[in-house]
């Protein structure tokens, strides 16, 4: 077994001094350094990264070009405030974001620091522009931790219990999870009963002309990387258009090339009015962007959405370099290719390992379900397998009880992918052979 004594010491000190509210523990991994798709812990052990900082590291850890851009900018200007000054990198980035986001119309960007504040910003802009207060979001969605984003979310009681009330005006409807369809619809004959729920609300108790926005995750992230049917997304967008409701795509987790397009909503041929971006935007540096139709942006006067450290020049330079790397290294195409390769290898593995259930996803957002002998979700097995992967040198997490979350950096090499899947296979074998004790479940609690 590896020596992880320094890591365990950091974990113990963390538990004494850091609020537990921010962490879902999977294993005592104390990261110290890394490059590309390799991470090193405080004891010097190496791991392959199948988590990419919860999809924040599409260009990998410490890409040399990102590090160089940060160093160069840091020597010139660390901080200014967008509230009172102008600075070129933020303008250049907004120009670039207007190009790479879907929609051939004038756009403007509002900056922030996190996915959560981007969602809060989207809510504010949508309410101000439409003069309406209602916001439609979906059961099982995660949009963030600030009060606006949290009011939009509906995925965990731990996130809400004891801290209410949430913001008023939010209405949560069913997100299509076709494999678990409560209406028992079949894909070939589906009548989109989940969309009907919204239409019924519009006719009975929720005046559509009081709804400002629909906010969707183009792939249901934290519920287990669920890809909705394209028809649902398109018809939802049509319903929005019919009633003058703004369509907001939360691309915080899936954006910046991860799914094989710049933004996941492009898979469905829908052009949103507002896009929220964060995480991988600046390769993990704190930066978010609300990119929207210019007239929506112009509707909110100063200082309606002003965050002192937003659009920090170091972060904007990192974001500009991130976009160039994604273009120069063809990472969008690579994400499709590597994703297909992983899915094919998992399909092969499944032949001998029936506890591998459904595999789904787009590009390098891949969900692998872990099931018991009856095909039912097996959270305990999933948690143990994740823990053993860490012990064997692979960083991978799970969501929604039994879904392995495979979201490596887009720069991962074929050799690293091969080795990571080999570690996953060995860990599953260990589980099948009863070699992973129940004691690991005390630590490997994951998302609750």
Residues 179-190 as b or e (16 or more Cβ within 10 Å = b) = eeeeeebeeeeb
Least distance CB 30 / ligand PLP (angstroms): 21
Alpha helical stretches, state H, 60-156: 64-76, 88-100, 115-130, 147-152
Closest to ligand PLP by CB, 145 or 178? 145
State the angle between helix axes of 193-204 and 230-243 in degrees (0 to 180), rounded to the nearest 10: 20
Asked if residue 28 lies in contact with residue 4, where contact means CB atoms within 8 angstroms, the answer is yes
Distance CA 437, CA 116 (A): 37
Sequence-separated (6 or more) residues with CB below 8 Å from residue 47: 29, 38, 39, 40, 41, 390, 393, 394, 395
Closest to ligand PLP by CB, 110 or 428? 110
Q: Which two tokens stand for residue 363?
A: 């590009």
Give the helix/strand (H/E) hosting 20: none
Closest to ligand PLP by CB, 143 or 267? 143
- By beta carbon distance, the residue nearest ligand PLP is 115
Instruction: List, in sequence order, every beta strand (DSSP E) within 356-422.
Output: 356-362, 365-370, 394-395, 397-399, 403-406
Q: Which two tokens stand for residue 291?
A: 């990119």
Closest to ligand PLP by CB, 144 or 208? 144
Least distance CB 288 / ligand PLP (angstroms): 7
Closest to ligand PLP by CB, 245 or 285? 285
Closest to ligand PLP by CB, 278 or 381? 278
Least distance CB 50 / ligand PLP (angstroms): 16
Q: What are phi and psi of 80, to 5 degrees?
A: -150, 175
Closest to ligand PLP by CB, 50 or 431? 50
Distance CA 107, CA 94 (A): 9
Q: Which two tokens stand for residue 305?
A: 């959405």
Asked if residue 151 lies in contact with residue 145, where contact means CB atoms within 8 angstroms, the answer is no
Alpha helical stretches, state H, 142-290: 147-152, 193-204, 230-243
Least distance CB 27 / ligand PLP (angstroms): 19
Asked if residue 151 lies in contact with residue 136, where contact means CB atoms within 8 angstroms, the answer is no
What are the beta bridge partners of residue 365?
A: 362
Least distance CB 177 / ligand PLP (angstroms): 16
Closest to ligand PLP by CB, 115 or 260? 115
Closest to ligand PLP by CB, 265 or 278? 278
Least distance CB 218 / ligand PLP (angstroms): 9
Q: Which two tokens stand for residue 390?
A: 């860490």
Residue 25 DSSP one-character state? -
Least distance CB 125 / ligand PLP (angstroms): 16
Least distance CB 415 / ligand PLP (angstroms): 29
Least distance CB 46 / ligand PLP (angstroms): 26
Residues binding ligand PLP (CB under 6 A) = 54, 114-116, 119, 142-145, 217, 221-222, 250, 252-253, 278-279
């Amino acid at each position: 077994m590896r020596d992880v004594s320094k890591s365990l010491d950091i974990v113990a000190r963390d538990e004494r001094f850091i609020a537990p509210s921010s962490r879902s523990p999977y294993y005592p991994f104390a990261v110290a350094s890394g490059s590309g798709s390799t991470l090193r812990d405080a004891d010097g052990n190496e791991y392959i990264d199948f988590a990419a900082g919860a999809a924040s590291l599409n260009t990998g850890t410490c890409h040399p070009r990102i590090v160089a851009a940060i160093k160069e900018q840091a020597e010139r200007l660390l901080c200014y405030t967008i509230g009172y000054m102008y600075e070129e990198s933020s303008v250049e980035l907004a120009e670039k974001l207007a190009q790479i986001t879907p929609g051939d119309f004038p756009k403007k960007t509002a900056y922030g620091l996190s996915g959560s504040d981007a969602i809060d910003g989207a809510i504010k802009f949508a309410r101000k522009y439409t003069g309406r207060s209602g916001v439609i979001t979906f059961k099982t969605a995660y949009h963030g931790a600030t009060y606006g984003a949290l009011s939009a979310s509906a995925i965990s009681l731990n996130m809400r219990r004891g801290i209410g009330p949430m913001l008023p005006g939010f209405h949560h409807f069913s997100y299509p999870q076709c494999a678990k369809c409560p209406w028992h619809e079949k894909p070939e004959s589906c009548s989109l009963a989940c969309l009907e729920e919204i239409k019924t609300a519009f006719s009975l108790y929720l005046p559509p002309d009081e709804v400002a926005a629909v906010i969707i995750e183009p792939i249901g992230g934290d519920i287990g990387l669920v890809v909705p049917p394209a028809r649902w997304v398109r018809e939802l967008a049509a319903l929005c258009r019919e009633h003058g409701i703004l369509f907001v795509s939360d691309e915080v987790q899936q954006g910046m090339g991860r799914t094989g397009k710049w933004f996941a909503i492009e898979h469905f041929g829908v052009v949103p009015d507002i896009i929220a971006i964060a995480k991988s935007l600046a390769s993990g540096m704190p930066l978010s962007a609300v990119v929207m139709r210019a007239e929506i942006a112009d509707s909110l006067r100063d200082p309606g959405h002003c965050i002192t450290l937003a659009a920090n020049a170091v972060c904007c330079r990192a974001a500009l370099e991130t976009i160039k790397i994604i273009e120069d290294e063809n990472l969008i195409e690579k994400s499709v290719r590597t994703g297909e390769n992983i899915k094919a290898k998992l399909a092969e593995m499944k032949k001998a390992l029936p506890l591998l259930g459904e595999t789904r996803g787009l590009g390098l957002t891949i969900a692998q379900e872990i099931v018991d002998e009856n095909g039912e979700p097996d959270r305990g097995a999933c948690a143990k397998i994740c823990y053993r992967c860490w012990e064997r040198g692979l960083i991978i997490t799970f969501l929604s009880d039994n879904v392995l979350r495979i979201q490596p950096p887009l720069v991962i090499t074929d050799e690293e992918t091969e080795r990571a899947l080999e570690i996953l296979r060995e860990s599953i074998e260990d589980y099948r052979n009863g070699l992973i004790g129940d004691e690991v479940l005390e630590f490997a609690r994951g998302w609750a």
